[in-house]
Amino acid sequence: PHGLNARRPPTLSYEEAVQLIRPGNAVYIHGGAATPGKFLDALADRARTDTSLSGVQLHHIHTETGQNYPLFAEDVSSRFCVNSLFTGSNCRAAVNSGMADYTPVFLSDIPLLFRTGNIPLDVAVLQVSPPDEHGFCSLGVSVDCSRAAAEMAPHIIAVVNPNMPRTHGDGIIHLSRIEALVDCDAPIFEMDPKPQSDAIKRIGKYIADELVEDEATLQMGIGAIPDAVLSCLGSHQRLGIHTEMLSDGVIDLIEQGVVDNSCKTKFKGLTVTGFCLGSRRLYDYVDDNPGFAFLDIQYVNSTFTVARNHRMTAINSCIEVDLTGQVVSDSIGSRIYSGVGGQVDFLRGAALSPGGKPILAMPSTTSKGLSRIAPTIHNGAGVTTTRAHVHFIVTEYGIADLWGKSLRERAKALINIAHPSHREELERDAREKLGLRL
């Protein structure tokens, strides 16, 4: 999304830039590690002194600011309507209290919401790399659905940060497309690796040893389980990456030659992603690195794109699975925890890929010792992945292959990978509540 005229937008302060937001505007906010936190702070400050600012709609995926979400402050929250398309930790309480909205949507469909006008945008607030000598900036670590927002919003405010990597791919935007610039020289958000319990490590080893083949193309979701899988792949060969997100774990595999993308059928030789989230080491590694392609998430996560990859192996985590194979990944009971994301995009694509494997994984119990494998999903929970989509479910006790299995066979397979202390009760519930003869 760019033009090539010589126009250069003015550089404004944060206080001046937020004046470009008008009452009733629909505003896209760059997400992930590219979240412009200081812009949100300034917007909240304006709302405290400008009583005319109201009815502003904000749309975004998870926003990583390293702090509380400033627009949820008690003295300004009534002025804004926040719509989370994937809920992060700093929006979770607001969504579950009714202060903010949550839209369940496949990650691949979010650009379509913008491009079709289903969610019309007036302004896109982006955080970008400094322009090159030709006037081109980069959307950096978060191209995902931000490219579509940059295409569709008539007004763009860009926070220009030298700490934002310049990434190759679809995230290029010319200065002439931008209405105003804001200079910023602050570190972008970094995410520390999540600690891996013994159960998580065992899950990672099961998946790496039993399910990931040499020459596979991998998609990893976010969290400790995908990281645990990556840490166990050191003896594999000729792996490829086609994923919605990247974390630090891929760097060592690339440097060891385990990941070389040589057997991919789409973008052979390139690591393909929509965004990355991790440490400064990761951001420095992808900076101006032609071995990576950061692409529009509508394309990256397209089931048709995913299915064309060689031995596509999709690895995602979930919260709860019932004995028929229904999977809950975005809620805990009726409380929204995250979002639909790209789980179904990749699971279905992997299922259609020659030699592909759709994998879902979780510890067998919660931190309170409750079984994550349940006779029925908890009241109010939403099914993210249907029982018809499910293939492999993995816990620290093994692997259940549910594809093509009857309800009775599924229940038996899932009980076998449940925590031993819950198996007897699950067998009883399968018979008494579900009428299954085990």
Where in the sequence numbering do the catalytic residues fall?
244
Looking at this protein, which amino acid is placed at residue 297? I
Contacts of 325 by beta carbon, 8 Å cutoff, 6+ apart: 387, 390, 393, 402, 410, 414
Name the token pair of 90.
């700093």
Dist CA 133 CA 138 (whole Å): 13
Dist CA 62 CA 68 (whole Å): 13
Alpha helices in 325-433 (DSSP H): 343-352, 407-416, 420-432
Q: Specify whether the CB–CB gap between 125 and 137 falls below 8 A.
A: no
Dist CA 121 CA 130 (whole Å): 24
Residue in this structure with the two tokens 């002025």, named with its chain if needed: 79
CA distances from 293 to 33, 77, 140, 298, 304 (A): 17, 38, 11, 14, 18
Dist CA 79 CA 1 (whole Å): 31
